[in-house]
Structure formats: structure tokens, C-alpha cells
Amino acid sequence: MQLANLAPVPELYVSWDSAQKLKMEAAGLASWDLTPRQICDLELLMNGGFFPLKGFLGEDDYESVVETMRLADGTLWPIPITLDVSEEFAKSIELGQDIALRDQEGVILATMTVTDRWTPDKRREAEKVFGADDIAHPAVNYLHHTAGKVYLGGPVTGIQQPVHYDFRARRDTPNELRAFFRKLGWRRIVAFQTRNPLHRAHQELTFRAAREAEANLLIHPVVGMTKPGDVDHFTRVRCYEAVLDKYPAATTHMSLLNLAMRMAGPREALWHGIIRRNHGCTHFIVGRDHAGPGKNSQGDDFYGPYDAQELFLEHQEEIGIEMVPFKQMVYVQEKAQYFPADEVPEGCTVLNISGTELRRRLREGLEIPDWFSFPEVVEELRRRFPPRHKQGFTVFFTGLSGSGKSTIANALMVKLMEMGGRPVTLLDGDVVRKHLSSELGFSKEHRDLNIRRIGFVASEITKNGGIAICAPIAPYAATRRAVREMIEQYGAFVEVHVATSLEECERRDRKGLYKLAREGKIKEFTGISDPYEVPENPELRVDTEGVDVDTCAHQVLLKLEQMGLVAV
């Protein structure tokens, strides 16, 4: 029976006194500002999570890891942990030189003696480590589009841990967890890796896995970097905390792992096992398509569903952690209970809600049954993913000067305020130019800057659940598209083209500006001496000629209803 060796794992930190001294000395060194992923890697290097690594990989170890999943000395290590930097920085460094590694606020976390510098063959790295040079794989995309061109390698001397302001009490170094297990007398510990919210099926399967392994359970979610598009870790941790209460007291512990995942499937599973062994665990749950990155650009899976389990089984002894295969649990309606998928009594009805279906129900505010998840988890998810009619959005009016944008925008604002529920902010062209862009003129460059500022403010409002109504001329299609992209990360972007013709705007000439523009007294005037690119596919086009303002604003409101953004 495998019992945990809970002796401390070696760390790369120097003593507190030495750290103070080193920090002063390091202030004079060439320094590298770590990327968010490098900060995650450095934390696990320094605290022993990546034991036996002593720093960022040198070239020999890198080559060997890429080709054979082993360090140059033969030790199993499946994922290259490399310090990617810009060519410019790499050129400025001499081999043998010490550099300071700083976090994003400039705090020196460690120093590194640069022993190696090389330009990697990223295509080969992609093919060998991730299975294909296909940017549909998030780590391959990262490799080609985010990572620097040159790698530096060398031993790291740890000065201090990266600072975390969130969930401090829930974060443990490997040695803190080992000490905790020692204190509680836990000698068999099964770890569960996750990057998703837990529902009842997960609770059932983890509890069952622990019982079968006669072990205590460590819920060990990743809060560093996961797959782009995942539920943010703040929401997830609040969900995990709710689920933790559902386990029998004193059997289960939860700790957060600041790992930057690569979604490398089978290789990643081994890596996860090594990391959990370093955290004092004896068993590790590996599921179907463990750390799978989704579909490749041909629409197929990157890895076979059981590749990770097979590779893990081959190496579990060498790692020193035993695999517990993840049993898929399903809800059986007649029994009102979860069963392993292969033990469902004959003739019974199995109920399931897929991830896609769950997201649809959240989006549309539909029921999520108690058999599927815990009410506290559903409440958290509903708060994070409110239905569309409770999410923030932006209505972006565009059109010529004097087209009626501001008037319709004002009327719409009042109608939305009458309905209530969400705060409404009007970013009118004139108002913005007074308060946000007072130093700007009407050159293309200045107009773009003005629109991007409006876009930024609107995206913040949208992110925080409010309604932003913008009403600038915004004459350039590319800039409008950029603003759309900025906002659509957080909520809907509704482009409304106020399609009043130039002739009509000039005829109205409310501010007398067209006359001045025609006389050449105002330069670069939109429609007269400056271009206006008509939107090709706005969500709505309104015509103000012969139609009153109230009707126009009502058309916009109907569009918002149709898009589900306001409740009927």
C-alpha cells in the first residue's frame, strides 16, 4: 500500500536575510519583466512544485524534453519550462550573467544565472510536445503569437513568492500541503485536478475515487492560466467553496494551484501527476481526454480520449503517484441517484446536461435542476453569467453631423431609464469632446483616438453590467470594428446607423456648421471635406426623414427586445 513521503521537497528560495541582501544587489542587474505565464512557472519552480527542476530549462534539457519527455539526465519531465524573451533583450545579455526576474509591478522575485541562450524551432516544439503545429491548440497559438523568439535558461535563486491578493488562505506551497497532511495524519491522498466549476457528478466521482483508494481527497483546482474562455477563477473558487461543504467533514481539503496549463493532453497528465506528487499526494484522478485542448483546425480531437490514461499508467511508478481512473457518473432518474455510467440498472433513464446546454440555460435564465448541480453553485454561475436581459451592452449610433444621433440617443436613454434595472450612460459626441477628448481635433488620427476612448469607456460600462449609449460621428469602418471587438468581449454591441442623407443634414444645418464648411471656414468637415464610410452591416439602420424621434427611438428599443437585451 502506497503511503505518502511527506518530508519537505527542496525549494529554490534563499533565507530571509540573504533574500534582503540579494534583492538590493539585484536592483542593479539587467532585468526581465515576467509574463503572466512565466510568473506562474517561476512560482512553481521556486516552491518545489516543479521539483526536480532548478531553473528555466537550458538548451540540452529543452532538446531532450521536447524529443523524449526526459531531462538530459534521463529524469521524466514532459513539458518544456522555458524563459522566452525578445530578441532585443536576449542580445543584451552575456552568457554567465545574472538577471533579475520581476513581476508585472516591478518587484524582483528571483535572479537567474543565464547559462543558455538559443532560438528554438517552435514548429518542432509544437509537433513534438503538443502533437501538431496547429494554432487551434491554445499552447501552439501561444508559442507562435505570444512567446518571445529566444529562450534563456539557467538556475534560479528565489527571493520571494509572487504576491496574490485573492484567496490567500486557500493557496499552499507543496511544503505547506505536506505539513498539513502530516499534521492531520493523512498518508494516502488522492488529488483531483480541475479547471471547471464542480457539479454533483464531480462531487460523486471524487468522493467515490477517494473511497476506492482508501484515501483522503485533495480538490486541487488550477487558478493560474487555464484554457482561454474558461470560467474565471474568482467565480470558480466561490463555487468550489460551496461544494466543499458537501463532503463529509475532515475527509477533504481544497487548495489552489497557480499553474499555467498548456492543455497538452497526455504529456500534461504526466506533468500534473509529477506536480501533485510534489505536493504530497499519492493518487491522482485522470479522466477521459485529460487536459484536452478541444478540436483542431480540421474539427477533430487533438488526442485520443484515453491517451492520457495510457501514458500515465506507463509512467506512474516512475513518478511515484498512482492513477485513479475517472469514473463518469450519471444521474439515474428512477433511482434519484448517481451511478457510474457502466453500472446503470437496465431500463433506467439517464439524465444529463452538457456544458453547452448549461451555458444556454444560464444565458436564457432557464431552470437548472437540483439533481445536476448545487443551488449555491448555480447561484454563483447565474451571478457571473446573467441572462442577456441583465447583461451590460452598448448601443453605438453613427451618422453624419446633424443626422439626429444625439436626439435619438437621448430619447432612447430616457426610455431605458423608465424601464429601470441597469444604469444607463450617454456618451454623446459633443459631451465626450468636452470632457474626454478636449485636446483633439478632427484629423483621421484624432477622430480614431476619440472613438477608441469612447469604446474603452463603453466597454468598461458594458463589462460592469451597465448600458452605454454612444453617439459620435465615427466615420471610419475599421475603427468602429475595433470598438465592436473591444465591447463584444463583455456584452452585445448594437450598431445603429442614423442614415439621414447629407442633403437633409445640410438642409437642417442646426449648428450652422455645414454653411461654414462649405465656405471653407471649417476644414475636414465630415461629408463635405472629409469621408464618412457608411456601415455595411449595422444591427439597425434608422431613417429620420419624415419619421419623428420617438418612433426612431422606439425602433431601437424593439431591436433591443428582439436581441433579448431588454425584457419584454
From the list 430, 545, 550, 561, which residue makes contact with ligand PPS (rule: CB under 6 A)? 430
175 among known catalytic residues:
no
d(CA 19, CA 43): 16
CB of 433 to ligand PPS, least distance (A): 5
- 44-63 residues in contact with ligand PPS (CB under 6 A) are none
C-alpha cell at 307: 491517451
- 494-553 residues in contact with ligand PPS (CB under 6 A) are 511, 513, 522, 524-526, 530
The 8-class DSSP code of residue 541 comes to E
d(CA 526, CA 528): 6
Give 143 or 498: the residue with its C-beta nearer to ligand PPS.
498
C-alpha cell at 565: 437585451
Other Cβ atoms within 10 Å of 107 Cβ, number = 14
Q: Is 402 annotated as a binding residue?
A: yes
Q: Which residue carries 512567446 as its cell?
A: 147
35 among known catalytic residues:
no
CB of 408 to ligand PPS, least distance (A): 11
CB of 449 to ligand PPS, least distance (A): 8
Half-sphere CA count of 211, side-chain side, radius 13 A: 9
Half-sphere CA count of 236, side-chain side, radius 13 A: 22
CB of 546 to ligand PPS, least distance (A): 20
Query: Which sign, positive or negative, has the C-alpha torsion 237, 243, 245, 248?
Result: negative
- 410-429 residues in contact with ligand PPS (CB under 6 A) are 429
Give 149 or 510: the residue with its C-beta nearer to ligand PPS.
510
Give 340 or 520: the residue with its C-beta nearer to ligand PPS.
520
- Which candidate in 75, 113, 196, 410 is catalytic? 196
- Which candidate in 37, 117, 178, 195 is catalytic? 195
- Estimate to the nearest angstrom the gap between the alpha carbon of 277 and the chain centroid: 27
Closest CA to 407 of 399, 458, 440, 460: 399
CB of 539 to ligand PPS, least distance (A): 19
CB of 466 to ligand PPS, least distance (A): 21
Omega before 52 within 30 of 0, i.e. cis = yes
Give 290 or 447: the residue with its C-beta nearer to ligand PPS.
447
Give 196 or 410: the residue with its C-beta nearer to ligand PPS.
410
- Taking CA atoms, 489 is separated from 460, 464, 479, in Å, by 11, 12, 16
Give 474 or 492: the residue with its C-beta nearer to ligand PPS.
474
Q: Is 403 annotated as a binding residue?
A: yes
Q: Is 399 annotated as a binding residue?
A: yes
Q: Is 400 annotated as a binding residue?
A: yes
From the list 35, 406, 459, 462, which residue makes contact with ligand PPS (rule: CB under 6 A)? 406
- In 198-343 the beta strands, taken as DSSP E runs, fall at 216-221, 252-254, 283-286, 322-325, 329-332, 337-340
The helix or strand, by DSSP H or E, that contains position 209, with its residue range, turns out to be: helix 200-212
Beta strand 492-498 with 540-542 is parallel
CB of 393 to ligand PPS, least distance (A): 20
d(CA 211, CA 347): 28
Q: Answer for the pair 66, 129: CB distance below 8 angstroms, yes or no.
A: yes
The 8-class DSSP code of residue 564 comes to T
- Total residues binding ligand PPS (CB under 6 A): 21
- Which candidate in 35, 194, 258, 544 is catalytic? 194
- 433-492 residues in contact with ligand PPS (CB under 6 A) are 433, 442, 447, 450-451, 472-475
- CA angle at residue 84 from 82 to 85, to 5 degrees? 150
d(CA 540, CA 41): 47
Give 197 or 455: the residue with its C-beta nearer to ligand PPS.
455
196 among known catalytic residues:
yes
- CA angle at residue 168 from 167 to 169, to 5 degrees? 95
C-alpha cell at 122: 517552435
Closest CA to 432 of 400, 472, 401: 472
Window 92-131: contact mask with ligand PPS (x via CB under 6 A): ----------------------------------------
Q: Three-state SS for 549?
A: helix
- CA angle at residue 53 from 52 to 58, to 5 degrees? 145
Give 102 or 484: the residue with its C-beta nearer to ligand PPS.
484
**Nearest residue relative to ligand PPS (C-beta):** 429
CB of 54 to ligand PPS, least distance (A): 55
Residues that bind ligand PPS (CB under 6 A): 401-402, 406, 429-430, 433, 442, 447, 450-451, 472-475, 511, 513, 522, 524-526, 530
Return the active site residues.
194-196
Binding residues for ATP: 399-406
Known binding-site residue numbers: 399-406
